[in-house]
Structure 1
Amino acid sequence: MPVVNVGFQVLPKVADDKVYAVVDKAIEVVQKSGVKYEVGAMETVMEGELDHLIEIVKKAQEVCVEAGASEVMTYIKIHYRPEGVSMDEKLAKYR
């Protein structure tokens, strides 16, 4: 299966002063997953096999609830190309 990029944003429903702490828990899931990733101001982008990345997103949602969110809205973007796609090729000219 080709390498894809998945960008996602979790919006946990918690008190305003708790949002960043809960989002940090979701980012920890990505950090511990071992996949290549980049945290941005509005979303986290990961690189890898699609099914694995979707499992990471699902786990990120679960930890938000475990951290106190009553619900989580998640926005997902997928960049798929049959021969694969990397974050490096898309960002090289900006670095």
Structure 2
Amino acid sequence: MNASVAIQVLPKVLEQEETRRIVDEVISYLASTGLHYAVGPFETTLEGELDQLLDLVKECCRICVRAGSPSVMSYVKISYKPDGVWTIADKTGRYQTL
């Protein structure tokens, strides 16, 4: 694993429930990839290889449009280090509560 990506998609739709429906489709897609991920209140973080993660970012935008959004804004953070990046657990594990 040489990268982690945090992505927030904002479909350009008017109704809050429509936004939720489209974002849920994106999260379902991310879950289907088999990659380790964590959903947060503003963004979803994934771990994997850089090229694979960048392809996922593109697909997330396409999913929003296929789901009915005329356009989408995506905010993406990328951490890349060829010999390995910190995992989600490394970054936030000690703060998790049960």
> Structure 1 length normalisation: TM-score?
0.91
Quick check: 53-62 or 38-47, which moved more? 53-62
Query: SS at the partner of 2:29?
Result: helix
Aligned-residue CA RMSD in angstroms?
A: 1.2
Q: Distance in 2 between matches of 1:50 and 1:5?
A: 8
Aligned-residue sequence identity (percent) comes to 41
State the match for 2:67 in structure 1: 67
* Aligned length in residues: 94
Q: Distance in 2 between matches of 1:88 and 1:81?
A: 17
> Structure 2 length normalisation: TM-score?
0.88
State the match for 1:9 in structure 2: 8
- Give how far 1:91 is off: 1.7
State the match for 2:24 in structure 1: 24
State the match for 2:44 in structure 1: 44
Residue identity in the other structure for 2:15: D
Residue identity in the other structure for 1:42: F
Q: Is the 8 A contact 1:29 1:56 kept in 2?
A: no
Gaps of 5+ in 1: none
- Give how far 1:4 is off: 1.1
